[in-house]
């Protein structure tokens, strides 16, 4: 793990994960084995004249992973991106765009294929933009591509 990384409480970072400077991990985040959080928008070893770049020649940008989100094994988050609360990034996914709260994304580039709740289980459609967690019974409402949990 690099310097300048902010880590919340109860975060689990698995073997061989690479978490670079400026990353921000919220409470309860899971970072799977060999996951990578980059920090360079325009990676180069040399400038246009061939001179080796030094520490002061670039400004690191971070990946933000919000509360409860999980990054699958060997997933890559290309900075700068924000992974929303309780989102789930599938193993091997390459995240190049922000992921909404509760989003379930897979592939390269990662695309949303569904929703997950805090239990990590894929939500089931209850019709008319409503979603339900089969494990907890929690209900959610989808509006304009975002999901929010209903008040109980």
CATH 3.20.20.80 fits 6-44+58-116, yes or no: no
Confidence at 3, pLDDT banded by 50, 70, 90: confident
The residues spanned by each domain of the chain are: 6-44+58-116
Report the pLDDT value the prediction gives residue 69, as an integer from 0 to 100: 98
82-92 b/e (C-beta count within 10 Å ≥ 16 → b): bbbbbbbbbeb
Q: pTM surpassing 0.85?
A: yes
Residue 27 has pLDDT above 90, yes or no: yes
């Amino acid at each position: 793990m690099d310097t300048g990384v902010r880590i919340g409480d109860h975060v689990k970072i698995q073997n061989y994960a690479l978490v670079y400077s400026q990353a921000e991990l919220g409470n309860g985040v899971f970072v799977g084995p060999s996951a990578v959080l980059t920090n360079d928008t325009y990676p180069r070893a040399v400038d246009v004249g061939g001179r080796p770049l030094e520490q002061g020649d670039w400004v690191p940008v971070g990946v933000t992973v919000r509360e409860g989100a999980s990054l699958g094994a060997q997933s890559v988050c290309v900075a700068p991106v924000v992974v929303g609360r309780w989102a789930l990034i599938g193993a091997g996914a390459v995240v190049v765009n922000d992921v909404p709260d509760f989003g379930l994304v897979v592939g390269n580039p990662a695309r949303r294929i569904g929703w997950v709740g805090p239990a990590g289980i894929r939500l089931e459609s209850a019709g008319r933009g409503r979603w339900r967690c089969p494990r907890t019974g929690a209900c959610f409402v989808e509006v304009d591509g975002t999901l929010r949990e209903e008040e109980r």
